[in-house]
Amino acid sequence: MKSATTFEVQQDLIAMLDQAASQYSLSGRDKALRCILDYVAADGNWDEIFGKVRCMRCGGRPGWTAEG
Q: Where are the domains of the chain?
A: 11-60
CA 14 → CA 19, 33, 45, 47, 51, distances in Å? 9, 10, 24, 25, 23
pLDDT in the model for residue 68: 58
User: What pLDDT, in 10s, does the model give residues 6-53?
Assistant: 999 989 999 999 999 999 999 999 999 999 999 999 999 999 999 988
| pLDDT attached to residue 55 | 83
The rounded distance, in Å, linking the Cα atoms of 17 and 29 is 5
State the amino acid at position 60 in one-letter form. G
